[in-house]
Amino acid sequence: MKFSIRQVVLWPKKLGLKPRTVEFRPGVVNVITGASQTGKSALIPIVDYCLGSGRCAIPVSTIRDATAWFGVVIDTAKGQLLFARREPGSQQSTDEMYIAEAKADSLTIPSNISTGNVNRTFVKHYLDELAGLTSLDFSTDGAGTFRARPSFRDLAAFTFQPQNVIANPDVLFFKADTVEHREKLKNVFPYVLGVTTPEVIAKRLELEELRREQRRLQREIANLREGANKWLTDLRINISRAREFGLVPPNTPDDVSQQQGIALLREAVSNPPEKATEGTEPRTPAVQKIGEEIIKLRDQEQEQALALSQLRQRWLEMSKLREAAMAYSKALHTEEERLAISRWLLQEATHSKSDCPVCGNELQSPKDQLASLVAGLDEVERNSTTFRTLPPTFDRDYARVRSNIAETTERLKDAQRRISALQEASEVERKRRYTELNTSRFVGRLEADLAQYDRYVTDLSLHARLEEISGDIQRLTQEVDEAALRAKLDRAVLRITTLMSELLPVLGVENPTDPAALSISELTLKIKRAEREDFLWEVGSGSNWLGYHLAVMIALHSFFLRIHANPVPAFLMIDQPSQVYFPRKLAGRQTKENLDPKLGDDDVVRVRLLFDTMARTVSKLSGTMQIIVLDHASEAVWGGIKSIHKVEEWRGGKKLIPENWLT
């Protein structure tokens, strides 16, 4: 796909300053050379961020503190496009983006961007359409994002080789160090290699749908067959039950033939239960009347029970009062008997000479005490006369309460007897209706079983549809020949291996004659030796890893450009390919004095070969591919090579971020 970078644009946060632009040329090897900590490595995450990455990987501090918006100008078949995105600040990323278009090479860069005009989702869909990617998922089996449709973001694996990837023995492709990207890239690979075309994907999806429907129909037919066989097994049982319910003649034998039994049951289904049980129709009004009568009697029962409870409570209280009155009268009688002797003693003491009738002694003050006792006796006799018996009305009320209790009890029992009788009648009716309900249920189930049996035996639509689907599956299986597709994929991998074999001898790889084959299942390389196959991580030396990385990426782009309407953008950004020749940098012993490490004489020759290989590749591809290299190596190393364009040199204080943006 025609897709090359023309400019990287940065807009400052400080007002009044012009945007910073970095110009690139299409169809050549663009080189930005410079010392460390000048911002070279930030260009890859800047371009990736502007093309809709999920998070911002642009280095923090200097670059992000000074920049308000990041942008990239792209050359496409539709003209030039500007994709800009706001600096996310304290967030991991922002979805606010800005797009500008121009039909020719006359895109005007705005002096500042105050607000976006689109969001990241729009940009992703826009880039998907620009690349001509299919809108179909790879599968409908619900395997999550791994089998989702290819997106432009998936193609970043073929366009970026940052510093941590270019010589990495474990990771061959950009962002292939995460499970999500690895699994998705495995599914995308056959698509970008031209093996799995949109037509093939569409037919695969149709094939999946047909196979799902085929399995559904097969299960449905199997269930119908199982149900029909079970129903035929229970045929005589159903005939016996139909005879019990009066649905078939009572003299019907159990050992009828299968066809006769089916005919009898069909007749039973066609004869409604109302006709088969004529004269025993449910008497709904009578049942309803019984229910209403029971409800009324229940109300009466409750009223009589309440009245009986109140009468019994009153009778209990009156009984307690009567017992208390009798006890009080008895107590008064006892007290009267005990005090009666005081009256006799006082009489004897008054008429007798010796005062005391018992001992004969003269009594003085005790006469007053006896008089007091006699007065008390008089009071007791008066009270005894008053409370000795209850009023006559009490006995009359007491007798009436007892009579009311007896009458209420009888009325309660009568209501309960009537309720019991009505419930018994209702139970008889309920049993009769239960029998009729069972008959109706049996007929309904029998009708459903017959319908299922007929659907299996006589309805051929399911079998016809299954046969039609089987034919479609056979046709699509031939059209989507998986064996042929695997063979085509193997041929594509073999072609890439051949293209790599032309590059390995000049890229400083040990044993360059050993074929290096791309393993899509492992997303790495297999180096075939005489005695075994070794994966890339089993091969030592950073220069070997670098050579294999460059070889596979160049071979892939050469292969992509030979495929009509291939969706992969025709540019490749490489960061620090010469890093393997700076051991002190890799060991982490870099200091301010050696921010711009120097190459030895032998290393200069090997690095120049890297640049020469890339230059010859873009020249061989007639300018359809663009390579951007960000490296320490100065122009003294790669200068004079045709098809190499020096973009800028960031030394002597010149960096990606101008000094006046920071001061």
pLDDT band of residue 278 (cuts 50, 70, 90) is: very low
Please return the burial class of 411, using the count of CB atoms within 10 Å of its CB with bins 0-12, 13-18 and 19+. middle
What are the tens digits of pLDDT across the range 456-474?
A: 777 778 888 999 999 999 9
How many CB atoms neighbour CB 470 within 10 A?
A: 14
Q: Does the residue 526 lie in any domain?
A: no
pLDDT at 339 over 70: no
Show the domain range for 72.
Answer: 1-132+632-663
Kindly state whether residues 361 and 414 are assigned to the same domain.
Answer: yes
Kindly state whether residues 122 and 86 are assigned to the same domain.
Answer: yes
Q: What is the pLDDT of residue 399?
A: 80
Kindly state whether residues 304 and 375 are assigned to the same domain.
Answer: yes
The three-class DSSP label of residue 27 is coil
Kindly state whether residues 75 and 112 are assigned to the same domain.
Answer: yes
Q: Does the residue 267 lie in any domain?
A: yes
Kindly state whether residues 18 and 111 are assigned to the same domain.
Answer: yes
What are the tens digits of pLDDT across the range 521-563?
A: 999 999 988 778 899 998 878 889 999 999 999 999 999 999 9
pTM for the model? 0.68
Higher-confidence position of 201 and 105: 201
Higher-confidence position of 263 and 610: 610
Kindly state whether residues 398 and 344 are assigned to the same domain.
Answer: yes
Q: What is the DSSP string of 541-606?
A: -HHHHHHHHHHHHHHHHHHHTTSTT--S-SEEEEE-GGGGG-HHHHTT---GGGSS----HHHHHH
In whole angstroms, give the CA distance from residue 233 to residue 393: 86
In whole angstroms, give the CA distance from residue 590 to residue 465: 73
Kindly state whether residues 404 and 419 are assigned to the same domain.
Answer: yes
Mean pLDDT confidence for 601-611: 86
Q: Which amino acid does the sequence have at 588?
A: G
- Beta strands 96-102 and 79-86: pairing type? antiparallel
Higher-confidence position of 359 and 571: 571
What are the tens digits of pLDDT across the range 205-233?
A: 999 999 999 999 999 888 888 888 887 77
Q: What is the pLDDT of residue 268?
A: 77
Q: Does the residue 270 lie in any domain?
A: yes
In whole angstroms, give the CA distance from residue 116 to residue 89: 15
Which residues sit opposite 650 in a β-bridge? 34
Kindly state whether residues 293 and 417 are assigned to the same domain.
Answer: yes
Q: Which of 7-11, 188-192, 227-231, 481-485 has the lowest mean pLDDT?
A: 227-231
Q: Give the distance from CA 571 to its chain's centroid.
A: 39
The three-class DSSP label of residue 30 is strand
State which of 397, 425, 453 marks the end of a domain: 425
What are the tens digits of pLDDT across the range 287-306?
A: 667 677 878 888 888 888 88
3-state secondary structure 259-282: HHHHHHHHHHHHCCHHHHCCCCCC
Q: Does the residue 405 lie in any domain?
A: yes
Kindly state whether residues 309 and 442 are assigned to the same domain.
Answer: no
Residue 419 phi, psi (nearest 5): -60, -45
Non-local (6+) Cβ contacts of 625 within 8 A are 27, 557, 558, 561, 570, 571, 572, 617, 618
Mean pLDDT confidence for 253-277: 70
Starting at the edge strand found earlier in the chain, the sheet holding 524-528 runs 516-519, 524-528, 533-535
Mean pLDDT confidence for 244-269: 76
Q: What is the pLDDT of residue 276?
A: 42
Mean pLDDT confidence for 606-610: 91
Kindly state whether residues 458 and 351 are assigned to the same domain.
Answer: no
Q: Which of 129-143, 161-175, 239-253 has the lowest mean pLDDT?
A: 239-253
Q: Are the CB atoms for 173 and 165 separated by under 8 Å?
A: yes
Q: Which of 249-263, 550-564, 569-583 has the lowest mean pLDDT?
A: 249-263
Kindly state whether residues 394 and 322 are assigned to the same domain.
Answer: yes
The tokens for 152 are 């432009």
Mean pLDDT confidence for 622-637: 93
pLDDT at 255 over 80: no
pLDDT band of residue 330 (cuts 50, 70, 90) is: confident
CATH of the domain at 61: 3.40.50
pLDDT at 199 over 80: yes
Q: Does the residue 541 lie in any domain?
A: no
In whole angstroms, give the CA distance from residue 348 to residue 573: 149
Please report, for residues 192, 212, 450, 469, 525, the alpha-carbon distance to residue 480 in angstroms, rounded to integers and kept in the order given.
18, 17, 43, 16, 28
- Total count of domains within the chain: 3
What are the tens digits of pLDDT across the range 82-100?
A: 999 999 988 888 999 999 9
Higher-confidence position of 417 and 126: 126
Q: What is the pLDDT of residue 361?
A: 62
pLDDT at 342 over 70: no
Mean pLDDT confidence for 549-578: 95
How high does pLDDT run on average in the chain? 84
Q: What is the pLDDT of residue 390?
A: 64
Please report, for residues 237, 247, 259, the alpha-carbon distance to residue 446 in angstroms, rounded to integers and kept in the order given.
12, 12, 16
Q: Does the residue 562 lie in any domain?
A: no
What are the tens digits of pLDDT across the range 110-164?
A: 999 999 999 999 999 999 999 999 988 888 765 556 888 899 999 999 999 999 9
Q: What is the pLDDT of residue 69?
A: 97
Q: Does the residue 188 lie in any domain?
A: no
Q: Does the residue 605 lie in any domain?
A: no
Q: What is the pLDDT of residue 572?
A: 97
Tell me the percentage of the chain whose pLDDT exceeds 70.
82
Higher-confidence position of 552 and 446: 552
State which of 448, 464, 480 marks the end of a domain: 464
Q: What is the pLDDT of residue 420?
A: 78
State which of 400, 425, 450 marks the end of a domain: 425
Kindly state whether residues 453 and 383 are assigned to the same domain.
Answer: no
What are the tens digits of pLDDT across the range 22-58?
A: 999 999 999 999 998 999 999 999 999 999 999 999 9
Mean pLDDT confidence for 579-605: 62
pLDDT band of residue 275 (cuts 50, 70, 90) is: very low
Q: What is the pLDDT of residue 314?
A: 85
Please tell me the chain's helix, strand, coil percentages from 3-state DSSP, rounded to the nearest 5. 55, 10, 30
Mean pLDDT confidence for 621-647: 93
What are the tens digits of pLDDT across the range 387-405?
A: 555 677 777 787 888 888 8
